[in-house]
Amino acid sequence: MKVRYQYRIYPTPQQVKGLNQLFGCCRVVYNDALAIVRSVPQGEKWPSNAELQKLVITQAKKTAERKWLADVSVVPLQQSVQDLSVAFKNFFESRSGKRKGSKVGFPRFKKKLNQQSARFVRTGFSLKGNKLELAKLGRFKVKWSRPLPSEPSSVTIIRNTAGQYHASFVVEIGSINIEPLRPSIGVDLGIKTFAFLSTGDRVESPGYNRLDRKTRRFQRKLARQVKGSKRREKTRLRLAKLKLKTANIRKDFLHKTTTQLIHENQVVVLEDLAVKNMLGNRKLARAISEQGWGTARTLCEAKANRVNDREVRIISRWEPTSQICSDCGFRWGKVALSVRSILCVSCGTEHDRDGN
């Protein structure tokens, strides 16, 4: 099973200059390849991946407009064209119904201000002691927070919108054996309480209110500033760091929670929530998006595949779990979201809405 291990790297000023040049070259090669595909008349055959690499890399280096492509390693440039092929594959599989999940749109041109990345395969990188060596870029200092479980097959260098650099390694791992504490558990996801468990325990999510207020304040400030000014760029960077901090807190919480659920329970039962539709509620959209319900489900399913004898089951979103008494089975019907406690008229048991 292939997984990713990500580490923070600290390039020198000279290496930062080289990485920025590499990101620009990868972005240009990707956009040139996409422009060629879009220019093909309707009904005619599109160029293959090998033909695109020849056009936007090999032949482009011989022109005056793209001769600077020779200054960087050819490996990430080839991988950039390969990424375009994968994007088209996902688009057509999504249109035909072979790909599950939300619909994938037609590939778009890459922008300079978004997150930047460049991928190296085994021919373009190596590990020299505690440092990472990249072709034509030298050795990088890596913050090894944990050891790699096996030899990596590729590494992706990422620069996020906050200006931080990371190395994401793809490694092969085997499944692990952990004895579960319980045969199964039901999980009801919510806003005020992130998860109400069938054991009666509650999992509270971190508070995002303070960071959210600061983020909204800087967003208003950014909207008033002149585009292209140094002060606007300074505000954009502070805003990006705030959003990154919120995302890191959420990611850390979701990873720890889902790991505990999978390790302690043989079967984890979740509800099939229509998160995208629920975000249409303007009053609850921000609170729902902060919780990361979709990410929690994805992490549970991925971690269940890594541990032997683990399973994640999904209950239909149309199952009336909040309308039926969990003790006697009496159905009292639909109840408003504001009602948090329900008294069953059949057996007289008082239920917490989420607990029921």
Active site residue 352: no
Which pairs from 190-195 meet CB under 8 Å and 24+ separation?
190/354, 191/284, 191/287, 191/288, 191/291, 193/354, 194/257, 194/291, 195/257
Encode 247-293 in three state secondary structure.
HHHHHHHHHHHHHHHHHHEEEEEEECCCHHHHCCCCCCHHHHHHHCH
Please state, in angstroms and rounded to a whole number, the distance separating the CA atoms of residues 205 and 253.
7
Residue 176 burial class via C-beta count within 10 angstroms: exposed 0-12, middle 13-18, buried 19 and up: exposed
Active site residue 271: yes
Task: Please report the beta strands in the chain, taking only residues with DSSP state E, as ranges in sequence order.
Answer: 2-10, 116-121, 125-128, 131-134, 138-143, 154-159, 165-172, 182-189, 195-197, 202-203, 265-271, 311-315, 341-343, 350-352
Active site residue 350: no
Cβ atoms 288, 244 nearer than 8 A: no
Options 133, 212, 264, 271, the catalytic residue: 271
Closest by CA to 11, choosing from 1, 3, 24, 21, is 21
User: What is the crossing angle of helices 293-306 and 230-264, to 10°?
Assistant: 50
Which residue numbers are catalytic? 188, 271, 354
